[in-house]
Amino acid sequence: QPNPWGLFDMLGNVWEWCYDGYKGDLRQAATDPVEAATGTHRVLRGGGWDGGAYGVRAARRSTFASSSRDGSIGFRVVRSSP
């Protein structure tokens, strides 16, 4: 079934690269903060096949060096609505 935004299969396959640069502490941040895509690390979201079920959720957030590769990290192809 799709989620409330009409998207399917959002969690549990691979961590998804996000455009946002990583900023450590977001407890005081605005809802859905966007950090400049600068620096050496990017945000990863969603959890992947190589983690436990506790980590498979949309709010799960991690970081990885943008120059690195891993079998549990991927990306989602998106486009604007016509």
| pLDDT tens-place string over residues 32-81 | 556 656 667 888 888 888 877 777 887 788 888 888 888 888 887 777 77
Q: Is the dihedral of CA 18, 67, 23, 59 positive or negative?
A: positive
Strand partners, 13: none
Between β-strands 15-21 and 73-74, what pairing exists: parallel, antiparallel or unpaired? parallel
pTM, 2 dp? 0.66
Q: What pLDDT does 26 receive?
A: 63
Confidence band (pLDDT; 50, 70, 90) for 9?
confident
Q: What pLDDT does 65 receive?
A: 87
Q: Are 18 and 44 in contact (CB under 8 A)?
A: yes
Pairwise pLDDT comparison (40 vs 28), residue with the higher score: 40
